[in-house]
Amino acid sequence: MFAVAGELPADDRGWAYEFKWDGMRCIAHRKADSLVLHNRTARDVTALYPELGPMIEALPPDTVVDGEIVALDHNSRPDLGLMQKRMNLNEPSVTADLVGHVPVNFFGFDLLRFDGRDLTGLAWHKRRGFLEEIDFNGPSWRVPPVFEGDGAAILEAASRLGLEGIMAKRAEAIYLPGKRASAWRKIKLVDGDEFVVAGHT
């Protein structure tokens, strides 16, 4: 499920807010005895992120988590420049070398399937409740915080932290795989300035 670009809701009631992580969207599927990671184009990227392999122990079989793979800078903030060093690699030796220098984390923000049960038809807040019941916090994975109400304050906090922006999600929204829906809104922080541009011939 994908978000549309937009503004903060005029009324916070019925909305929840998450920080927007500047990384690579990823679906993590714990099968019977393996963990498979797919990016947003359905490419299998499992081999590129070996440090996420132990995440299998945190999930029951036949469980699917939607999230973001991020690389954090020395201030623990997502850094897309660092993340790009890990994306689109094909050489296992290069990947292994970068694991120690550019480690990644998986931030799981939605639960699509749990122990064989399809949750996509449930409201977002119910799926989130299931996700928070799992002990999904490890050395390279976690459930990031969510906030209800006062989206303006959350957006201001994202700005202070130097983040990309925030996500607004309707609490009652079901999950629509492969769809872009207004029930998920991305509010980006954009820096601006004024310039005078002059030309001469």
Pairing, β 147-148 against β 15-20 = antiparallel
CA distance 161 to 200: 41
DSSP 14: T
Q: Which of 20, 85, 169, 188 is catalytic?
A: 20
Distance, CA of 16 to chain centre: 15
Residues in the chain: 201
Nearest to 146 by CA among 131, 134, 160, 164: 131
CA dihedral for 163, 175, 14, 146, sign (positive or negative):
negative
CA distance 144 to 146: 7
CA distance 95 to 113: 29
DSSP 140: T
Amino acid at 4: V
Whether 20 is a known active-site residue: answer yes
Q: Which residue numbers are catalytic?
A: 20
